[in-house]
Amino acid sequence: CCTPSRTAVKYSFVRVYGEKPIVYFSKNLTPNELIKLYKKLNVRLEGRVAVKLHSGEPGNQNFLGPDFFGPIIKEVNGTIVESNTAYDGLRNTTKKHLETIQKHGWMNKFQFDLLDAEGPDLVLDIPNGKVIKKNYVGKDLVYYDSMLVLSHFKGHPMGGYGGALKQLSIGIASSYGKAYIHGCGKPEDIWTSNHDQFLESMADAAESIVRYFNGQIVYINVMKNMSVDCDCCAVAEDPCIKDIGVLISTDPIAIDQACLDLVYASVDPGKSHFIERVESRNGVHTIEAAFALGYGQREYELKDITNE
């Protein structure tokens, strides 16, 4: 439908140190609040904008749909992008995934691109990767100049939590790429690899996307409907902790760290169940590994604009 905006070339990449990144926060969980935060961030996404979100596994009751994310997608004039899964379900083949996308209403009002609908994959190098040195993503990624990462912050059965770093890695990887990350470079070990190395592989893969877009990414994390289970679970627990708010930043490490910090600071007794899920899977290690690679910071400045 269109010609590539970029090719898989080497991009300049500078380790991020110095001033603390700003993470804007609001307790107002409305669709228009995402637009308010985007304008407050004052970073304009240019060219063809890919909007990465989770299309939702059929049966899951917690994922955020078109009604919630619609206004911000229209604000950036973006194309929703997704990738096939690597596990059995209703999103692991192009045919089934497209049917799910239609069922969940994503194709009714928005442009949609299933990045790995057809092969071959685009292979991104990860020269500094601790565990993996390559990241396999859908070849359609070359059509986009910038990206808006919309993450539903929640727990995860394997990663402990799901946020911006998971969206950058597992979320954008092709079906083969997801197995490659899970298996720490050996797709056949998808469910049996060393757990901490899997978390480090996610951090490696996320770096390749940050480098690829060379700073042209904005991250929004929504702390709503927070179950200990991911939106990829057809059978998921109901939310265990009260909604907290929405955050935006240009730093994927800072925004995920901020979300975890807000959970720990919550007075909701339901947080203990959520924290148990994170800690039992050593979820913070993904943040630790990403920080060690140098593409973001764990210390940040949180600015609450709820009442602005």
In what helix (H) or strand (E) does residue 8 lie, and over which residues does it extend? none
In Å, how far from its chain's centre is CA 176?
18
pTM: 0.94
Contact by Cβ (8 Å): 294, 16:
yes
pLDDT one digit per residue (tens) for the chain, 308 residues: 456 665 443 333 334 446 899 999 999 999 999 999 999 999 999 999 999 999 999 998 999 999 999 999 999 999 999 999 998 899 999 999 999 999 999 988 899 999 999 989 999 999 999 999 999 999 999 999 999 999 999 999 999 999 999 999 999 999 999 999 999 999 999 999 999 999 999 999 999 999 999 989 999 999 999 999 998 898 999 999 999 999 999 999 999 999 999 999 999 999 999 999 999 999 999 999 999 999 999 999 999 999 99
